Chains A and B, each alone.
Chain A
């Protein structure tokens, strides 16, 4: 059975069709890991369509929902399964004092779809939590998210804590959110800023070429 049909069903967000194809493959003795590889291909397409403004937030969420159900059937974690070769590791979180998760979640999805290994430390994350996660996973990139204007100060404190922990030279820091610009980047001491997930991913990919 070709894998194109499943890729297409998933990329087109046809839930029942995709689940039916997965079950058929499992019944036919297909390795669950192979199925997950096919899923990754579809996720890449979904990410690309979001970048091209063909897909929007509800579509990303729906893609996530179908993947969740496939995970249930195959009993495997799609995010961390298989011998995927990642571009780089990214630690991401919404900074202290801010509990907005939507922007961060979009970026996480998009980084994942573009081949990054993403470690999400959640919302309202104190500087120390970033420092500890950086120590643990040794990422190439750290992404700080924030929706409120109070996030500027938390981002600055986080960058300072990373510096104080002696980790600054090993990583690139990108900040993102609605009300972010060059002024904020300079204030916080980050290396780059992005106001959309697509831009953020482009910057991360560019960093990894060097």
Chain B
């Protein structure tokens, strides 16, 4: 792929750039009007691989390579105010534990595609009560032995060593990216879009514990058990998001702080994955609870409304004002502005197909409409609908960023 040199006209120090970018995003998040529409580029791992001329498989193992390509992308698109570094599994962690939740590139899948989730039931219907009473015990004694190929439940030395190897690999992985994050903030003035993640309790239950089929049948056969299990998951979902922050050693070089954004990919809540009644019963109450608790603890939540959330949009009026960034995929973002624009900041949604198959002119036209309508009065962040997908044309990303940086300026 052709390399881009995106040189900025005005030279600013990394510190100035960092402060400016943080200010822009923070202002938009709190539903006010920044100096211009902020731009977030959530690079998919397949895009990073293609830009760097390597496979996704290599990027799972070669952290340095991935970091180096990301730095080239920061230079190529300096108008970005925050970037996503392409979430993927760590190869070493995955291998050490023998994880069996995902098919991974170079193994089950071809080397150049992203890892993908394996739909499967990992918790029996009669195990609901055990899970609800003590989730930790269930996870360790029942769930882990089912999802990790190393057989924990047999008390084998080999399995214990696998666990230790997994923890070491995980710490390496965290330390590496933690250091890169600091370096990018201080040398490039570039914030990272996401600081940690969590999920909706129902998605945890449906994705990884019961599976799509079983959790659907449970809605008919044991609705109370779903509700109780989701309630038991709330503190875990909060902890999963917060733990990386309580562990991070505070950087005292007092810059402007960007409140940590918790990414929350939402999988199975929107129509047609369930009806609005099912949503109100099984999905929304505990998701809202997780969001409210995280906001109360000082975090910004950034749920990704994957799929078409148009029918479910009105519920977002119920979350704390100015503390949630709702990433829009296929939902009608213009209607969303009307419905929930005074409560949540909207991020999105240049379509993946437009970035891959469209022309720069078409991309600019879509961005103009986003800025004119969704950007009105602030509370909007420009991004791709699914971030920047693997097939996105460089000239289209250039069009998106340059146009937004110029046309997206708010008149004072």
Contact = CB atoms under 8 A, between A and B. Distances in A.
A59 B330 CA distance: 23
Interface stretch (A34-42, A98-106, A113-121, A137-145): A98-106
Interface string A7-33: 000000101000000000000000000
Interface string A143-158: 0000011101100000
Interface string B102-132: 0100000110011010110000000000000
Contacts of B87: none
Contacts of B216: 57-58, 61-62
A57 B353 contact: no
A150 B113 contact: yes
Interface stretch (B171-179, B242-250, B336-344, B385-393): B385-393
Interface string B183-206: 000000000000000000000000
Contact of B386 (A50, A57, A179): A179
A186 B358 CA distance: 12
A55 B216 CA distance: 12
A53 B330 CA distance: 18
Contacts of A50: 272
B46 A61 contact: no
A99 B217 contact: no
Contacts of A96: 110
Contacts of A53: 271-272
Nearest to A186: B357
A92 to B, nearest CB: 17
B274 A58 contact: yes
Contacts, number: 96
Contact of A56 (B103, B272, B390): B272
A58 B219 contact: yes
Interface residues of A, number: 36
Interface string B215-241: 111011100000000000000000000
Interface residues of B, number: 39
A78 B51 CA distance: 50
B391 A183 contact: no
A152 B273 CA distance: 23
Interface string A169-183: 000000000111101
Contact of B278 (A15, A56, A181): A56
Interface in A82-136: 96-102, 106, 124
* A-B pairs, 5 with minimum CB distance: A58-B216, A183-B357, A61-B216, A149-B389, A56-B275
17 contacts: A15-B220, A53-B271, A56-B272, A56-B278, A57-B274, A58-B216, A58-B273, A59-B275, A62-B219, A65-B213, A99-B109, A149-B391, A179-B351, A179-B386, A181-B351, A184-B353, A184-B357
